[in-house]
């Protein structure tokens, strides 16, 4: 049977094909999705639901939890530390947005083609690559009242020493400034990429119409940078609400708890030496989650509009 050595390349007739073969296009995506979805449900989606549940209990993490209803949330209302944290979160949100215009300014400054500019761009971007822990350490030393670069610098102008991180009113701003350093670098790189794609013909047309400088920037460049601005906005908001590392490293919430934010306060309540109040911590996390949810909903809505547009 010599002819049988040639393999049959024709698809088998529909009636004889197996169930999988007949439903291949419908089933394959689910097979490919299954591991990712299972992992994600198990470690991300389900825990969110569990946190909501835990927030109605009083629980030290070891003994049996007791149901307390909304007691944790009622306690939050009278908790002055919670109020401070919430207020600080607001400061973070507003001031962190400065990364966007400053990042744009640096991008405009660096958007040239002189020799060595590539290296300059990389070095300006550098702070983003370093871990926030190291950024925190670096800035703690930068602010140090005895040998910090900041006070050495102020000294040159005959200004008095400022103990930024030791001052309850200044400390949060000092930490935000440290956080702005890598965040600005991130926004800068987004805008540098965006500027690369700006349509040169529109700029020429604008120049012919006599637009230049700030007017050109506002009416012609910035509208074209919209996708970059959107991403910068998303990552900056998320970054501001996620701030934890810097606070933990630089002040550990102090002085007098004045630099706490919700994410840090939650950790402190649930896991640090101040006790294991898992339920109360979960309630704080739920509040933070709900704040974040407003932004997430807005981001998803924008993305959804975009998807529909295609």
Partner 1 sequence: MFPRPIEKSPRAWQLTYQGLLPIALIFWLAPLIAVAVFSIKPAVDFTQGNYWGLPSTFEGAANYGQVFFNSDMPRYLLNSVFITVPTVIGAVGLSCMAGFALGIYRFKSNLLIFFMFVAGNFVPFQILMVPVRDLTLDLGLYNTKTGLVLFHIAFQTGFCTLFMRNFIRALPFPLIEAARVEGIAEWKIFWYIVLPLMKPAIAALSVLIFTFIWNDYFWAIVLTQGPESQPVTAGITSFNAQFRAAYHLMSAGSIVAALPPVAMFFLMQKHFIAGLTLGAVK
Nearest-approach distance from CB 2 to partner 1, in angstroms: 25
Cis check for the bond before 255: say yes or no (omega within 30 of 0). yes
What is the rounded distance in angstroms from the CA atom of residue 54 to the CA atom of residue 229? 38
DSSP character for 58?
A: E
Instruction: Tell me the window of 74-82, 90-98, 161-169, 275-283 that interacts with partner 1 (CB under 8 A).
Output: 275-283
Question: Phi and psi for 57 in degrees, rounded to 5?
Answer: -120, 160
271-275 contacts, C-beta under 8 A, 24 or more apart: 275/60
User: Which of 94, 133, 205, 294 lies at the binding interface for partner 1 (CB under 8 A)?
Assistant: 133
Does residue 6 bind partner 1 (CB under 8 A)? no
Return the HEC string of 172-199. Answer: HHHHHHHHHHHHHHHHHHHHHHHHHCCC
Residues within window 64-103 making contact with partner 1, judged by CB under 8 A: none
Nearest-approach distance from CB 137 to partner 1, in angstroms: 5
User: Which of 228, 240, 247, 250 lies at the binding interface for partner 1 (CB under 8 A)?
Assistant: 228
Residues within window 36-55 making contact with partner 1, judged by CB under 8 A: 36-37, 39-40, 42-48, 50-51, 54
Nearest-approach distance from CB 92 to partner 1, in angstroms: 13
User: Which of 168, 244, 255, 275 lies at the binding interface for partner 1 (CB under 8 A)?
Assistant: 244
71, 58 in Cβ contact below 8 A?
yes
92, 263 in Cβ contact below 8 A?
no
User: Residue 229 corresponds to which tokens in the numbers above?
Assistant: 């601005």
DSSP character for 198?
A: S
Residue span 142-161 as binding mask against partner 1, x where in contact by CB under 8 A, dash where not = x----x-x--x---------
Total interface residues for partner 1 by CB under 8 A? 105
Tokens 């004889």 belong to: 16
Which residues, including other chains, have CB under 8 Å from residue 148's CB and lie 6 or more apart?
141, 142
174, 164 in Cβ contact below 8 A?
yes
Instruction: Tell me the window of 70-78, 79-87, 164-172, 300-308 that interacts with partner 1 (CB under 8 A).
Output: 300-308
Instruction: Tell me the window of 68-76, 77-85, 158-166, 299-307 that interacts with partner 1 (CB under 8 A).
Output: 299-307
Nearest-approach distance from CB 32 to partner 1, in angstroms: 4
DSSP character for 69?
A: T
Residues within window 178-197 making contact with partner 1, judged by CB under 8 A: 181, 186, 189-191, 193-197
Instruction: Tell me the window of 79-87, 157-165, 166-174, 277-285 that interacts with partner 1 (CB under 8 A).
Output: 277-285
């Amino acid at each position: 049977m010599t002819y049988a050595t040639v393999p049959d390349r024709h698809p088998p007739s529909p009636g004889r094909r197996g169930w999988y073969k007949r439903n291949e296009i419908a089933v394959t995506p689910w097979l490919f999705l299954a591991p990712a979805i299972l992992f994600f449900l198990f470690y991300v989606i389900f825990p969110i639901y569990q946190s909501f549940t835990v927030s109605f209990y009083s629980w030290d993490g070891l003994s049996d939890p007791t149901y307390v209803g909304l007691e944790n949330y009622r306690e939050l209302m009278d908790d002055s530390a919670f109020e401070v944290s919430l207020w600080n979160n607001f400061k973070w949100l507003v001031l962190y947005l400065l990364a966007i215009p400053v990042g744009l300014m640096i991008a405009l400054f660096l958007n040239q083609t002189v020799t060595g500019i590539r290296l300059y761009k990389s070095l300006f971007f550098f702070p983003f690559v370093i871990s926030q822990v190291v950024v925190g350490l670096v800035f703690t030393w930068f602010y140090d009242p005895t040998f910090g670069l900041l006070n050495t610098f102020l000294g040159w102008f005959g200004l008095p020493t400022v103990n930024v991180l030791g001052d309850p009113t200044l400390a949060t701003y000092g930490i935000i400034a440290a956080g702005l350093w890598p965040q600005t670098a991130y926004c800068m790189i987004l805008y540098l990429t965006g500027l690369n794609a700006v349509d040169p013909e529109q700029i020429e047309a604008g120049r012919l119409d006599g637009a230049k400088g700030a007017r050109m920037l506002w009416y012609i460049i910035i509208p074209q940078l919209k996708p970059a601005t959107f991403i910068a906005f998303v990552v900056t908001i998320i970054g501001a609400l996620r701030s934890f590392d810097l606070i933990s490293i630089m002040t550990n919430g102090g002085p007098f708890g004045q630099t706490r934010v919700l994410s840090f306060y939650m950790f402190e309540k649930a896991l640090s030496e101040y006790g294991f109040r898992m339920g109360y911590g979960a309630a704080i996390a739920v509040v933070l989650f709900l704040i974040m949810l407003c932004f997430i909903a807005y981001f998803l809505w924008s993305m959804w509009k975009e998807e529909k547009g295609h």
